[in-house]
Amino acid sequence: MEVTDIWRLLPHRYPFLLVDRVIEIEPDQRIVCLKNVTINEPIFTGHFPDTPVFPGVMIVEALAQAAGILAFASRGRTLDDGYIYYLAGTDKTKFKSSVIPGDQIRLEVEIVNLRKHWMKAEGRAYVGDRMACSTRLTCAEQKTG
């Protein structure tokens, strides 16, 4: 799934769209996405300019965006259908290692519980074989129109 397909599922745009590509998706089960971290991102002008580190909260947001894509795909919907998925909570979040410019984050999200208007999922972010973050996400569906 290319970025133009992602735009049909997520309302986020630059500089806050944090999913560059979907490389695997199994609706109702799991998704694997990529986020390329570059020094050109606005966050690096203020987040440790002398030692740039991609903020952990942005990694969690990237996982939440991947979960949102998975939720849309699992429901067979797009933004045009008048729905949106919000990050409603995180639990058991752990940051294992730093992410720096030049890294590519592999975002893996697996559904734990999918209900009519919400979803719980396990999210993990990796750089290569190294885990950068793990978290449990709760996503809530809301009708927009």
Query: What is d(CA 35, CA 62) in angstroms, rounded to the nearest whole number?
Result: 8
Instruction: Point out the residues that are catalytic.
Output: 47
Mean pLDDT (whole number) for 123-145? 96
pLDDT interval class at 109 (50, 70, 90): very high
Q: How high is the pLDDT of residue 43? A: 95
Query: What is d(CA 128, CA 120) in angstroms, rounded to the nearest whole number?
Result: 25
Mean pLDDT (whole number) for 24-41? 97
Residue 119 has pLDDT above 90, yes or no: yes
As a whole-number percent, the residues of the chain with pLDDT over 90 amount to 94
Query: Is 0.85 topped by the overall pTM?
Result: yes
Q: Do 140 and 88 contact (CB within 8 A), yes or no?
A: yes
Domain locations in the chain as residue ranges:
3-143
Q: How high is the pLDDT of residue 49? A: 83
As a whole number, the mean pLDDT across the chain is: 96
Phi/psi class of residue 98: alpha, beta or left (left: φ > 0; alpha: ψ in -120 to 50)? beta
Q: How high is the pLDDT of residue 44? A: 94
Mean pLDDT (whole number) for 113-137? 97
Of 3.10.129.10, 3.90.550.10, 3.90.1570.30, 1.20.1260.10, the CATH number of 3-143 is 3.10.129.10
- Over residues 80-103, the pLDDT tens digits come to 999 999 999 999 999 999 999 999
Q: How high is the pLDDT of residue 145? A: 74
